[in-house]
Amino acid sequence: LFKMHPQHPNAFAWFDSVAHSLTLQEEVDLPAEFEFPKQGPLIIVANHPFGVIDPIMLARWAGQFRPDLKVMTNSLLLAMKELAAHVIPVDPFGGEGSAKRNLAPMKEAIRLLRGGGALIIFPAGEVASYKPGRGIEEPAWSNHVGSLVRRTQATVLPVYFPGSNSALFHAAGMIHPRLRTGLLLREFCNRANTPVPMNVGQPIPFSRLKKFEDDESLTRYLRIHTFVLHQRGKEQEAKLTVTGENIAIIPPSEVQQEHMVEEIDRIRARGGRLVGQGGLSVYQAHSHEIPALLPEIGRLREITFREVGEGSGNEVDIDKYDRYYEHLILWDEEKEQVAGAYRLGRADVILREYGSKGLYTSTLFRFEKPFLANLEHAVEMGRSFIIKAYQRNLASLPLLWKGIAHWIARNPHYKKLFGPVSISKDYSSLSRKMIVEFLQDNRMHPHLSSFVKARNPFRYMRTRRMMREFISADLQNVDDCSALISSLETDGKGIPILLKHYLKLNATLLSFNVDKDFSSVVDGLIMVDFTETDARLLAKYMGEENCRKYLASHKKEVE
């Protein structure tokens, strides 16, 4: 094969020639809004399932963006003189003297990256092979990749090649690893006339990686970021359905619209406007004040929830709790329409008048007495939504949160928020498992979680290979988790925005339930203690003076 393709001026032309002769074509799956890093130090990390084809096809694709690209790979490829200028050769076989022989390549890689160059590296060092009892997998990644990133402050681009070599290749490896190596070129030629899929992740800037204090933890993080790409899009063909989704949702009549405006006017007149910004306002209302607005809130709830695979399946999403819970309404003053809403319930009042069954969350979770005893100064939150037209308005969700904070400032004896936050079926099953796994390992309430039991617990197998990889990755914060989920989801979304807002307020989780009556979404029961929230962040939502007075009432000081 190599004799058929001599005299090419550079490695990229040689790669093209080989690919064309075998009718090989990469099928590159890119994430949403992808931009290839065309400047600055860049390390492209990839798994190594096939052998020779991996560096050839990856370099062929990436080289069109980065002509300064080099590939750190098997020194055997130096047999082709065309590749010499673009290959940093390493000895992947180990054995006596290999570590010493690999010192010079590492130094060359560091010089390349510090000079702003780009490097492809296969951190496993050898091709994936069959392991009894574990299946086909590649060795643990060398921590050298973590060292290179930390020493050169490089951006990292993860790439995953789906697939594996033939059964013969893996059987030969069971006899002796050298037999497997001898079959690599045969495997390469057998790929003729077949597509070579590559799943490309989002570039990870060094600013997100510099917090890792050692090479090992950084390498584990990059490995899971790469392997998670194997799952991206696997569940996309499964259409999100909602029971009753074909039921028509009728818009408000002109008369109802007039009544809604009148209700807002009356609420404003009695001082029910909590906060406003940029033409949007947040109002607080009781159900008896909003006979026209409440059905509209229920209508928009249902529309918004259906759009992400949730929803009750009814024409309007209204339940018995709406009658005695309070409502925060995000209102567009100019267009005179509801843009979003939140529902809140004073837990002490509800427990006194209705008992624990009066809490909406009691339909999802069983509460033991020690937990209920902690709700004396708590408010249950839920049923939040922002309609699609306002979701890109960056002020919408923060303004609703300001409304909550200003409501708390008016009712300062309350210091805790709790309620369900949804992880919808719009996320892949693996993403949902990873989010729950991360929260269970890092953000569970140390005491109260033992007194809350889900009525329909979220269950999953932790032994699956991808979950083992995830658990070993040792994610350090919610942004790490969100970035990983973004790599997995085809539309690039991270963890749910509302969940992220709660976590930034130092929220803890209590339990996880699957709501079968609400499109089987996963609900995490979350709790926020405002007196334990970062005071500067609280002041951002509550206002500095309100925050100072509020914390003083709880014998806390603003630092």
Specify the pLDDT at position 375.
97
Q: Which two tokens stand for residue 151?
A: 């020493």
Specify the pLDDT at position 385.
94
- Short-list 75, 69, 62, 58, CA closest to 19: 58
Give the count of alpha carbons within 13 A of 364, CB side only. Answer: 25
Q: Which two tokens stand for residue 55?
A: 């560096």
Rounded to whole angstroms, the Cα distance separating 54 from 479 reads 31
Please report, for residues 14, 21, 72, 79, 212, the alpha-carbon distance to residue 82 in angstroms, rounded to integers and kept in the order given: 7, 17, 15, 9, 38
394: CB partners within 8 A, 6+ apart: none
Contact indicator for 55, 195 with CB cutoff of 8 Å? no
- Short-list 478, 517, 471, CA closest to 498: 478
Rounded to whole angstroms, the Cα distance separating 371 from 367 reads 6
- Find where tokens 């914390």 sit: 551
Residue 240, by phi and psi: left (phi above 0), alpha (psi -120 to 50) or beta? beta
Q: What angle do CA 196, 199, 201 make, to 5 degrees?
A: 150
Specify the pLDDT at position 249.
58
How many Cβ atoms from other residues are within 10 Å of residue 496's Cβ?
Answer: 20
Rounded to whole angstroms, the Cα distance separating 306 from 313 reads 8
- Length of the chain (residues): 559
* Full pLDDT tens readout for the chain, 559 residues: 555 555 555 666 767 777 777 777 888 999 888 999 999 999 999 999 888 888 888 988 999 999 899 998 876 555 556 666 778 888 665 555 666 777 888 999 999 999 999 999 999 988 887 888 778 888 889 999 999 999 999 999 999 999 888 788 778 777 877 777 677 777 777 777 888 899 999 999 999 999 888 999 899 999 989 998 988 876 554 444 444 454 555 677 888 899 999 999 999 999 999 999 989 999 999 999 999 999 999 999 999 988 877 777 788 899 999 999 999 999 999 999 999 999 999 999 999 999 999 999 999 999 999 999 999 999 999 999 999 999 988 889 999 999 999 999 999 999 999 999 999 888 888 889 889 988 998 899 999 999 999 999 998 765 466 666 666 666 778 888 898 898 888 888 999 988 999 999 999 999 999 988 777 789 999 999 999 999 999 999 999 999 999 999 998 765 5
- Short-list 469, 473, 524, CA closest to 502: 524
Residues forming beta bridges with residue 421, ordered by sequence position: 524
CATH assignment of 2-231? 3.40.1130
Rounded to whole angstroms, the Cα distance separating 504 from 494 reads 15
Contact indicator for 181, 74 with CB cutoff of 8 Å? no
Q: Pairing relation of β-strands 155-160 and 195-200?
A: antiparallel
- Short-list 45, 33, 214, CA closest to 113: 45
Rounded to whole angstroms, the Cα distance separating 523 from 520 reads 9
At residue 242, what are phi and psi to the nearest 5 degrees? -130, 130
Q: Pairing relation of β-strands 521-529 and 416-423?
A: antiparallel
What residue segments make up the domains of the chain, in order of their start?
2-231, 305-314+340-553
How far does the chain reach from its first CA to its final CA, in angstroms?
70
Question: pTM of the prediction?
Answer: 0.79
At residue 346, what are phi and psi to the nearest 5 degrees? -75, 110
- Find where tokens 């994430």 sit: 31
Q: Which two tokens stand for residue 225?
A: 């970021």
Contact indicator for 222, 45 with CB cutoff of 8 Å? yes
Measured in whole angstroms, the distance separating CA 502 from the mean position of its chain's CA atoms is 15
